[in-house]
Amino acid sequence: MGNSRALFLDCDGVIFDSYGIWDEVVSQLLSSHGKVYTEAIKSNLWHLSMTQADHFLYELLKDEVTREAYQSQKEELLEKAYAQVPLIAGVDELFEWLADEGLSCYAVTANQTKLVEIAFQSHGLTTHIKGIYSCYQTQWQEKEAAFLQTILDREKLVAEEVIMVEDSWANAKQAEQLGIQTFFLENEIYQADQKNGSAIRSIKHLSDFISIMEDN
């Protein structure tokens, strides 16, 4: 493991098996106002940041509901869903391994901090997380290098001493730019792009990450 001191973990798609939750919430939200969650809408949403997706959804519903009512309904659906969100396979084993290795773990997300906290609490995982950092509704649309650098600075960490596990190749590339050792957890939503000699390592399961780190 070398000189690694900390692990940055993405939340949705790495800790929480939440892809389906978002589709369910959007479908419920639209259907309650007489609209259908089509494949075209789904395709658009999954290519947007959280903030952009929120704006996109409200534009679909603005003739049916006020902004305040839309936000209230959406938040209620999401909070209920995240209180029941399942974990990605291998998460419990990952946190056990982190404790054994003495690595500090930070949740680094594009989601709302409140939803992430609800999910951690529902699974009794709060004590495993040293901090939660979200780029939601900040000056950064995604987990850009500048956003990640603010975490490093605040926690007094050096990039080369940090590991990151991501389900977004674009976000993984941002971490790689800083010198963070980065792993990409393969999934059906975001595709890897192994061009230009990237050092990002692709894994199929969280157990693969543990095995690689134990071999180093």
CA angle 76, 82, 85 (to 5 degrees): 145
Q: Which pLDDT score is estimated for 137? A: 78
Q: Which pLDDT score is estimated for 3? A: 65
User: Once rounded to an integer, what is the mean pLDDT over residues 176-198?
Assistant: 83
Q: What residue segments make up the domains of the chain, in order of their start?
A: 6-17+86-215, 19-82
Structure confidence by residue, pLDDT tens digits, 162-173: 999 999 999 999
Q: Which pLDDT score is estimated for 2? A: 52
Percent of the chain with pLDDT over 90: 84
- Spatial distance between the Cα atoms of 9 and 132, rounded to a whole number of angstroms: 10
The DSSP H or E segment spanning 6 is strand 6-9
- Spatial distance between the Cα atoms of 14 and 3, rounded to a whole number of angstroms: 23
Q: Which pLDDT score is estimated for 46? A: 86
What average pLDDT is seen over the chain? 93
Structure confidence by residue, pLDDT tens digits, 93-146: 999 999 999 999 999 999 999 999 999 999 999 999 999 999 987 888 789 999
User: Once rounded to an integer, what is the mean pLDDT over residues 186-215?
Assistant: 85
pLDDT band at residue 195 under the 50/70/90 scheme: low
- Spatial distance between the Cα atoms of 158 and 179, rounded to a whole number of angstroms: 9
- Architecture of domain 6-17+86-215 in this structure: 3-Layer(aba) Sandwich (3.40)
Name beta bridge partners: 20. none
State the DSSP code for 196. G
Q: Which pLDDT score is estimated for 196? A: 58
pLDDT band at residue 191 under the 50/70/90 scheme: confident
Structure confidence by residue, pLDDT tens digits, 96-107: 999 999 999 999
- φ and ψ at residue 63, rounded to 5 degrees: -85, -10
pTM of the model: 0.90
Q: Is the pLDDT of residue 182 over 70?
A: yes
Structure-block tokens of residue 158: 């050096």
